Amino acid sequence: MGARAIWKAELHLGEETVPVKLYSAAQDRNIHFKLLHEVDHVPIQQRRVNPLTDETVPYEATRRAYEVQRDLFVVLDEGELASAQPEPSRAITVTRFVDPSLINHQWYERPYYLGPDGHEEDYFALAEALATQGKEGVARWTMRGKGYVGALRAEGPYLMLIALRSADEIIPAAELEPPSGRALAKEELKLAEQLVEALSGEFRPEDFRDEYRHRVQELIEAKQEGKSLPARTYEPQPASDSLSASLKASLKKAGLKRAG
């Protein structure tokens, strides 16, 4: 019960500060393997070598370099690397509040819960105020030597901080040109809309399971007991030729027989 906080911080909003603890809201469910030498199942290690001499290079002896052109490096020393690091701080500084629609889905990277660290009333009052105002805060902070930008938002009665990717990391759709072609037929658009409508429902994430991961888990368990799982085969899908015929047939299948 209960996760360990990964960081203690202070939310700074204008003149106000609210002490908080940060918890990861995402958890790893991946199955992790060790690499083994096939002949004796001994865990593989890695060694770092100088390809010219084939000698092992100890970690302490390595240098960091940025490749400015192919095979041309600028070497940075520890001091230079450290100088780029942001100043350590406990502050999560909210710089502005914006309409959530300004934050594109592409930006979201990693969610964290913020929990109160004393001063519970302020914590819950802030969450309530964010909810009533329908706003998200843009926040900046430095954690483990790395600078972050995030969206501060209310999640039910609680506060959540979602780390955002930096602008450099995003390829915005606006910078791309959509595929072009002859105007779409009105009838096809209408049919497609009807089909989407017929297949529309609520987002219920619990309905989707990581089937593959569960099957890997089953395989591991079966092998542990010396059994094997039945094999499955791959069946390719034929491509559809007539768009409106396919749409009509799909609509029928979806249980709706509206006139095209």
Partner 1 sequence: MATSKRARRGQRNGSHRSGGDDRPDDMAQGRAFWSGTISFGLVSIPVELFPATRSSTVHFRMLSPDGTPVRRRYYCPEHNQDVEADEIVRGYEIAKGEYVVLHDEELESLEPQKSRDIDLRLFVNVAEIPPTYFERAYYLAPAGNSNKAYRLLAEVMQQTGKAGIATFVMRDKEYLVAILAENHILRAEALRFYDELRTPEDVGLPPKPRVDRDRVAKFERIIRKHTADKLDPDEMLDEQSRRLMDIVEQKYEAQQDVVRPELPEEDEDDEPSTVNLLEVIRRSLQSGGSKSGGSLSSGRSGTKGRTPKSAPADKAAPGRATTKGRDARQGRGKPQAEHDEGPPGRSVAALGSKTKDELYERARSLDIAGRSGMSKDQLIEAIRRHG
**Residue 59 vs 259, nearer CB to partner 1:** 59
Residues sharing a CB contact under 8 Å with residue 123, sequence separation 6 or more, in sequence order: 18, 20, 114, 115, 116, 159
Residue 151 CB, nearest distance to partner 1 (Å)? 7
Output the CA torsion 192→198→200→202 (10° steps): 180
Contact indicator for 87, 142 with CB cutoff of 8 Å: yes
Contact indicator for 72, 65 with CB cutoff of 8 Å: no
Matching residue, tokens 């799909």:
250
Residue 241 CB, nearest distance to partner 1 (Å)? 9
Nearest to 24 by CA among 100, 103, 113, 104: 113
**Residue 68 vs 259, nearer CB to partner 1:** 68
**Residue 225 vs 259, nearer CB to partner 1:** 225
Q: How many angstroms separate the CA atoms of 34 and 15, rounded?
A: 51
Dmax (CA) for the chain in angstroms is: 75
Contact indicator for 142, 86 with CB cutoff of 8 Å: yes
**Residue 176 vs 259, nearer CB to partner 1:** 176
Extract the tokens encoding 253: 């299948």
Extract the tokens encoding 69: 């052109």
Residue 260 CB, nearest distance to partner 1 (Å)? 14
Residue 5 CB, nearest distance to partner 1 (Å)? 9
**Residue 255 vs 259, nearer CB to partner 1:** 255
Residue 232 CB, nearest distance to partner 1 (Å)? 6
**Residue 205 vs 259, nearer CB to partner 1:** 205
Residue 234 CB, nearest distance to partner 1 (Å)? 6
